[in-house]
């Protein structure tokens, strides 16, 4: 009887140990299975967090780049507008200077014709008188011209006496409406004023 009781206790303990062992085995198996999935979940969450942080950082940097780019574009537009304005002004000034230079050359050519006594005129008496006047005046007087840039139709000049340095300023307006002999008349009046010689004196010679 005592032997039977011992065997029963042994069987009971063996069953308990076996059940406990199986339970521990199942638990350990479940833990082993859960560890990779939990690690993978944590890894995925961390990756998502890193991606979000990276995206936010890139967005911030992109906004800064856009601000700098917009400011640069605005500056370039201002510089381009200023360049266009300056180029336009320069082109207009160049054109104006060319016109002034051309008119100055034309006037100098007319004066050269006058100095060679080749004045075109239908009045031979006026032509001869002009030649005589200029011949008497050119030895003691000189004339210098200045072209008024602000008024392309106006000529200013200075006549001066080579002997006593007496000077006289003169201006001729409405050049486009005057004939060469009319222009020469203005010039010689100024030359006479500094030379002390007048039209009547020459005409009597």
State residue 2's pLDDT score. Answer: 44
State residue 37's pLDDT score. Answer: 53
State residue 10's pLDDT score. Answer: 44
State residue 107's pLDDT score. Answer: 77
Is 60 a domain residue?
no
Is 52 a domain residue?
no
Q: Give the residue from 202, 138, 143, 198 showing the smallest Cα distance to 168.
A: 143
Domain containing residue 153: 117-203
Is 165 a domain residue?
yes
Is 63 a domain residue?
no
How many separate domains does the chain show? Answer: 1
State residue 203's pLDDT score. Answer: 38
Is 161 a domain residue?
yes
The stretches in the chain having pLDDT less than 70 are 1-43, 113-128, 130, 136, 147-151, 197-205
State residue 77's pLDDT score. Answer: 85
State residue 190's pLDDT score. Answer: 84
Is 27 a domain residue?
no
Cα 139 from Cα 159, distance rounded (Å): 13
Query: Are residues 138 and 115 in contact, defined by beta-carbon separation less than 8 angstroms?
Result: yes
Cα 28 from Cα 22, distance rounded (Å): 10
State residue 11's pLDDT score. Answer: 46
Is 19 a domain residue?
no
**Residues listed for the chain:** 205
Cα 202 from Cα 162, distance rounded (Å): 20
DSSP state of 121: -
Is 92 a domain residue?
no
């Amino acid at each position: 009887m005592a032997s039977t009781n011992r065997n029963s206790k042994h069987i009971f303990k063996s069953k308990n140990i076996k059940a406990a062992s199986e339970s521990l085995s199942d638990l350990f198996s479940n833990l082993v299975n859960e560890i990779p999935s939990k690690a993978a979940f944590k890894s995925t969450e961390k990756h998502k967090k890193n991606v979000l942080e990276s995206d936010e950082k890139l967005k911030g940097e992109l906004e800064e780049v856009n601000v700098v780019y917009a400011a640069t574009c605005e500056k370039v537009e201002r510089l381009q507008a200023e360049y266009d304005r300056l180029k336009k002004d320069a082109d207009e000034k160049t054109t104006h200077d060319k016109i002034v230079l051309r008119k100055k050359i034309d006037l100098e050519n007319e004066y050269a014709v006058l100095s060679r006594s080749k004045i075109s005129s239908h009045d031979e008496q006026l032509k001869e008188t002009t030649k005589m006047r200029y011949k008497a005046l050119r030895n003691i007087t000189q004339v210098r011209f200045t072209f008024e840039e602000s008024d392309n139709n106006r000529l200013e000049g200075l006549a001066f006496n080579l002997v006593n340095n007496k000077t006289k300023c003169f201006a001729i307006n409405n050049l486009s409406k005057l004939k060469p002999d009319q222009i020469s008349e203005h010039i010689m009046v100024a030359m006479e004023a500094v030379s002390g010689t007048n039209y009547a004196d020459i005409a009597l010679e």
